[in-house]
Amino acid sequence: MMNTTTTIDKATNNQNAFNYAVYMMLGSYFKQMEAVSECYVQKLYLYYVENKREHQYSFEDIAIRFVERVLQKQLPEEIWQERVLVSFFARDGRNYVAFQGARYTLVVQNDYREARTKLQYQLYEDTPAIER
């Protein structure tokens, strides 16, 4: 008989580790990033380092490919010059990392499901008051 608690815990741990990889890999493309909660980032980091190195590299590769194959081709270049504040949230069983800058907010949905991992994004643009 399979222990469902162990299966759920492992999936949650992998999702937390993947959240960290998305945060670090995507965040490194911005001019500067800072987390809303450094304590929460440290918690995610602990999940991340509990994985074997090959698994860590896999998390990173998925995030980097998403940036290079999707985001860099579809987003305005100036977004990467932003200083962003990063927050994490979950809604309806989905996980998100939000990168909020002065002009743009990039929200990345990241659901880790091994071979079926899903990354999507939504971009919000805030028009500065002087331009309204």
Where are the chain's structural domains? 4-131
Cα angle 97, 103, 109 (rounded to 5 degrees) comes to 20
pLDDT tens figures, 29-86? 999 999 999 999 999 999 999 999 999 999 999 999 999 999 999 999 999 999 999 9
Q: Angle, nearest 10°, between helix axes 53-66 and 38-49?
A: 120
pLDDT in tens, 101-118: 999 999 999 999 877 899
Buried b (16+ CB within 10 A) or exposed e, 91-105: eeeebbbbbbbebbb
pTM of the model: 0.87
